Chains A and B, each alone.
Chain A
């Protein structure tokens, strides 16, 4: 009987401790999330234009991410398109031509001229944000990687 009581008291104390740990973790998480949503992802680029946002919607509606990657995130059937606009030998006209040709696995998208421009505006906006692959990144012995940034701020003036 006494054992049961001791056991019960121990449970109460432990549960209180666990609740405090949980509360502290959740509170830290709340602060951390706020920082990620604001200062952690802030840069000096202008907001996306209306045209680029229309292009992003087209990108999503046609599930382009199932085949293509942006910053190495997405599907593996087609090439990464992070810097397709600024890449040597590619650019807006190359992108527009491929969108309506339907070569290999690429479906034929019947985009109007306006829609083609919107997709190009979206890809141009992405191109302005950075590099993938980031060939000029500096790899440190500690395992850390210092990325090359396209935007004005850099890691060193962080």
Chain B
């Protein structure tokens, strides 16, 4: 079996994670010391590298995991290996082009999609190739599809749509009206994140079913109810990003009502799964299992924060502060990264279980450090956000420089926690990376 292409996606994803986190540390240093590397790597370039790399980590590792599960873990005959290979090469060259675009300063300058706008074309082409391969491979089995197949299919289709939507600004109907442009821009981003959550949460459910050896948990009516609720949130629950933007109130009302139940959904699923998990199964799959337990804890903490900031009266005070950053980093690191690392550990355990067992101790240390660091990391952001909000709304004529100075201590804490978080990721990913690279070559 030639597994190398799905493994290449995952390996490339891990590399993107390491680059993205390093860029994150450097921009935090620049935040505290604006002159740092300013002449070579200005903040407006480096932050774009950070955001693009971290988004790439999530996308590439999710895509690689899905390809691996469909073809090699479930032994489906993939529709076209050629399309998979073309998909890989498109993303490889697009990734390099994005880095060139950001370092050279040839940028599109839209939040999240900061790279040159032309590069959206190969990215969309990759999603189209994946959708052809995915649906052609699996569509004839649709009668008995477990929920993760529905989630991955949904994620692929909606990711393609919302990537297109994020580029509607090129049409004058949107571009001529700033409020429309801003609202649709953040609509697309909210749903774009919802789409990758469909991919990532589908992976979590797949892992649950595989580790427990019970496909029923991915086919029950309850799990489908939660899937549709998640999809409902993807479609209608994005507007907490623009509560403060003067668009029509019904947009905000719908989002307030829809709220953000998606993480609560997954939390209840994982919790239910852990309750029924037998001790023997835990020992057999120790590392992926532990990571899913950790994810469960982070889901609950992030659900709490998400619900709080989705109430307009609270969002009014938290919007534009570091609490929003805590929310986005809490979900991308605490939830998405935990699930995806768990997925990669599962894949590695299928490739070379003995080698993974030998590295279990160092990975476990990394896991402990990861969680402690992440807790401090998020706590510092929330405290900085509270301070900024207090100054914005409860003090007269406050200057930005004063707000900046008032939160400096918390940003130092954030930086130190970020460095230890990076070390913890290195401890976990380097052993995984080495096993993956060996399999890429073989």
Contact = CB atoms under 8 A, between A and B. Distances in A.
B107 A72 contact: no
Contacts of B111: 65, 73-74
Interface in B360-379: none
A78 B30 CA distance: 12
B249 A66 contact: no
Contact of A145 (B34, B38, B312, B322): B312
Main secondary structure of the interface of B (DSSP, over half): helix
Contacts, number: 180
Contacts of B178: 48, 125-126, 129
Nearest to A140: B313
Chain A, interface residues (CB within 8 Å), range: 35 or more
B353 interface: no
Interface in A98-138: 104-105, 107, 125-126, 129-130, 132-135, 137
Interface string A1-26: 00000001001101100100110010
Given A15-B142, A36-B187, A40-B248, A66 B114 contact: yes
29 contacts: A12-B143, A18-B150, A22-B228, A25-B228, A25-B235, A28-B235, A29-B236, A32-B236, A40-B248, A41-B179, A42-B248, A43-B177, A59-B109, A61-B107, A63-B47, A64-B109, A65-B110, A69-B320, A72-B244, A73-B241, A77-B31, A77-B43, A107-B42, A133-B393, A134-B244, A140-B313, A143-B256, A145-B312, A158-B250
Given A48-B175, A105-B38, A105-B43, A73 B187 contact: no
Contacts of A134: 244, 316
Given A25-B232, A144-B312, A149-B246, 7 more contacts: A21-B228, A40-B251, A42-B177, A61-B108, A62-B109, A73-B111, A132-B244
A46 B381 CA distance: 39
Interface in B371-398: 392-393
B44 A147 contact: no
A70 B109 CA distance: 13
B182 A70 contact: yes
Interface in A48-89: 48, 53, 56, 59-67, 69-80
A40 B256 CA distance: 16
Contacts of B224: 14, 18
Given A64-B44, A144-B312, A144-B313, A158 B249 contact: yes
A97 interface: no
A129 B246 contact: yes
Contacts of A29: 235-236
B304 interface: no
A64 to B, nearest CB: 7
Given A41-B184, A48-B175, A61-B109, A66 B47 contact: yes
B247 A41 contact: yes
Contacts of B45: 63
Contacts of B315: 145
A67 B34 CA distance: 12
B147 to A, nearest CB: 9
A32 B235 contact: yes
A129 B179 contact: yes
B87 interface: no
Given A48-B178, A107-B38, A107-B42, A36 B183 contact: yes
A137 B114 CA distance: 32
